Structure 1
Amino acid sequence: MTTPDSDGLLAEQLLRLTRRVFRIQKRHLGQRGLGVTPAQSRLLRTLAHCDTPPRMADLAERLEVVPRAVTSLVDALEDGGKVRRVPDPTNRRVIRIELTGDGVKTLRELHDVRRAAAEEILAPLSDEQRAALGGLLDTLVDGPYWQH
């Protein structure tokens, strides 16, 4: 049976783990010299999962951030040649964001960075513990209470 104290401890452990994951990924990003921040990495991954190039407002909604934050991220990524702004073919007033060839290449490298960070974090766990953790995380991430 859980108690408010044990739930509080679990919440604190999850927050500490999240911070550790973030620090390790950031360190791996720096070692690769990709010139991409974790927030920019997230935007690139989001773009990769879009069927068509999204509008800035669509990206803001998917990332659950304010539109101004997306503008700053896109500006930096565009300066680095990883994304480009393109006019919507059906409405020239609408601007969409798409990955460039360099952006696709960077995504592949980011995948390697995330894998290396995960390996570092999960190193202390046995295969059985990793499987159990994966099942628990699936339950938390895919639970019906997350459906909006």
Structure 2
Amino acid sequence: MPNPVPDDDLGELIVRAARSLRGRWREVLEPWDLSPHQVRALMVVGRTDGLRLSGLAEALRIAPRSATEVADALAGRELVERVPDPTDRRAVLVRLTDGGRRVLDEVRTARAADSRAALSGLPAADRAELARLLRRFVDG
């Protein structure tokens, strides 16, 4: 059995792997002219039928003002829209437009294909084990 990787080296390997995938992710997003941050916002909004900006900020772990800026940029591209909150007439919700849903589906498909390509050098059993271990790590 090979020597185990020290915990501090393992953490560095995880960070390096994440950076590598993040770099690939930016390249994958070029056709849509979206940042990873904007796509994460689309994903968060897409999980609901409408989300307040405070909920978006919380989910993205950013300041409410930053969430407003992200939503404004996405609304300017007609990927999200603001609609009245049916439970509070003073509040608004952000939700995906049909175009936003289409773009999000396209991006997810492209990202999945790129992830498969990035990990294709690993045998299927290793990919499954890596997925199991990472889920265990993040679920914690």
Please report the TM-score for the alignment, with normalisation by the length of structure 1: 0.87
Indicate conservation of the 8 Å contact 1:25/1:113, yes or no: no
Q: Match for residue 62 of structure 2?
A: 65
Structure 1 letter corresponding to 2:111: R
Q: Match for residue 146 of structure 1?
A: none
Distance apart, 1:90 and its partner CA:
3.3
What is the aligned residue count? 136
Distance apart, 1:28 and its partner CA:
1.0
Structure 2 letter corresponding to 1:68: R
Aligned-partner Cα distance in 1 for 2:44–2:56: 8
Residues 59-106 of structure 1, C-alpha deviation per residue, up to 9 Å, x if partnerless?
111111111221111111001010011111232210110100000001
Structure 2 letter corresponding to 1:42: R
Aligned-partner Cα distance in 1 for 2:108–2:29: 11
Q: Match for residue 134 of structure 1?
A: 131
Ranges in structure 1 where 5+ consecutive residues have no aligned partner:
144-148
Q: Match for residue 111 of structure 2?
A: 114
Distance apart, 1:9 and its partner CA:
0.6
Q: Match for residue 46 of structure 2?
A: 48
Indicate conservation of the 8 Å contact 1:85/1:96, yes or no: yes
Name which of structure 1's ranges 85-94 and 11-20 shifts more when overlaid on structure 2: 85-94
Give the 3-state SS of the residue equivalent to 2:34 in structure 1.
Answer: coil
Using the aligned pairs only, state the percent identity.
35
Aligned-partner Cα distance in 2 for 1:112–1:72: 26
Cα RMSD between the aligned structures?
1.3
Ranges in structure 2 where 5+ consecutive residues have no aligned partner:
none
Aligned-partner Cα distance in 1 for 2:96–2:128: 34
Structure 2 letter corresponding to 1:64: R
Is 1:21–2:18 an aligned residue pair? no
Structure 1 letter corresponding to 2:64: P
Aligned-partner Cα distance in 2 for 1:90–1:7: 48
Structure 1 letter corresponding to 2:11: A
Q: Match for residue 35 of structure 1?
A: 33
Please report the TM-score for the alignment, with normalisation by the length of structure 2: 0.91
Structure 2 letter corresponding to 1:88: D
